[in-house]
Amino acid sequence: MLRSRIDATRIVPTSKERAELVRLGGLVEHDIDDVMLVVRPSTYKTWLRKGRHGYVFKKLGRPATPKFVRYLACMMARANLRWGSRRIVGELRKLGFRIGSTTVRDILSAEDIFPEPTKGKSKGHVPWKTFLEANMDSLVATDFFTKKVHKLYGSFDAYFLVFIHLGTRKVFCSPVTYNPNEEWVTQQARNAAMWPEDVGVRPKFLIHDRDTKFCAKFREFWKDENVRCIRTPYKAPKANAYVENWVGGLKKECLNHIACFSSAQADYVVRTWVSHYNESRPHQSMGNVVLDADFAPQTKGNIRTRKKLGGLITEYYREAA
């Protein structure tokens, strides 16, 4: 007990240590004046007297901050890196928790969280997730994907360029090409620039990776359209997760199950899937609703099934009465 507190100016025994000292004192019939130097005899006798009456010793000092309040403070700090401890104190008080800024700093320091900005200096960068959530309605993400096309003289990669509006999840996809050169990519940018107006959105940012096919002309075109291109970091696919997930879903649910033998077939398959995605498919991330703004659930009429792409796509609808 002494060894663990060698630098302490005052030794305060815990409940377990107090019980152990009383047990050891009982071995000498509690005559500890010359034996137990870690505690005063008067204090020891007080322990005995209170122990006989079932007294429960309380911990000294301020009560510990409840675990839930500690969790809230850490959660707020991680989700809002621009907040200092005083801001977190204010938010906690709004929720009915009285706590000081020093306590908040101690809690965050124990978890290696240091959100407190230095006065007069930059308050740091907004986390990528926060940026996405704050700008959903003005963000479009884009990426390339391919589908193997098999011919008599070999297999070739058919390229597509897809754009997805993060706020509505609506998608625009280019026609197919075997040669995604600078001219083709720039032309698809022109085609895609007309799409936001058709679906009622006005993008301000375009997210894409560092693929060299996103050429200077491509970025210059969007700059002229007052859309800022944001390139994701190297080897960071999660930074463009929305379009990556869309491409992954297309391949998992459709392309991986179809063998294409011409570019026209590949184009038809992708166009059919995009049409289904935009007009008929319920989306779990959007509350299981259909993206088409004109869609209205029907409650009358016989239920029918519509199959596309050989049954890979199944749509249910009510037959008009």
Task: Scan for tokens 């998608």, then name that residue.
Answer: 171
Asked if residue 59 belongs to a domain, the reply is: no
d(CA 286, CA 216): 34
The answer on 46 and 83 residing in a single domain is no
Asked if residue 296 belongs to a domain, the reply is: no
Asked if residue 298 belongs to a domain, the reply is: no
Residue 95's domain comprises 67-117
**136-139-145 Cα angle (round to 5):** 120
Where residue 282 falls among pLDDT bands split at 50, 70, 90? Answer: confident
The answer on 30 and 98 residing in a single domain is no
pLDDT tens, position by position, 72-89: 888 888 877 778 888 888
The answer on 282 and 200 residing in a single domain is yes
The answer on 177 and 73 residing in a single domain is no
pLDDT tens, position by position, 48-59: 766 665 555 555
The answer on 223 and 170 residing in a single domain is yes
pTM surpassing 0.75?
no
pLDDT tens, position by position, 1-36: 555 555 555 666 666 776 777 766 666 566 666 666
d(CA 203, CA 201): 6
pLDDT of residue 119: 45
Asked if residue 40 belongs to a domain, the reply is: yes
pLDDT of residue 9: 56
Where residue 120 falls among pLDDT bands split at 50, 70, 90? Answer: very low
> Could you write out the DSSP letters of every residue in 222-279?
HHHTT-EEEEPPTT-GGGGHHHHHHHHHHHHHTGGG--B-SHHHHHHHHHHHHHHHHH
What number is the average pLDDT over the span 216-239? 90
Q: 33 exposed, middle or buried (CB, 10 Å; 0-12, 13-18, 19+)? A: exposed
The answer on 264 and 145 residing in a single domain is yes
> 266: domain CATH number?
3.30.420.10
Asked if residue 207 belongs to a domain, the reply is: yes
Whether the pLDDT of residue 158 is over 50: the answer is yes
Asked if residue 318 belongs to a domain, the reply is: no
The answer on 285 and 166 residing in a single domain is yes
Least confident of 149-158, 209-218, 234-243: 234-243
Number of separate domains in the chain: 3
The answer on 148 and 95 residing in a single domain is no
Asked if residue 57 belongs to a domain, the reply is: no
Asked if residue 86 belongs to a domain, the reply is: yes
The answer on 100 and 208 residing in a single domain is no
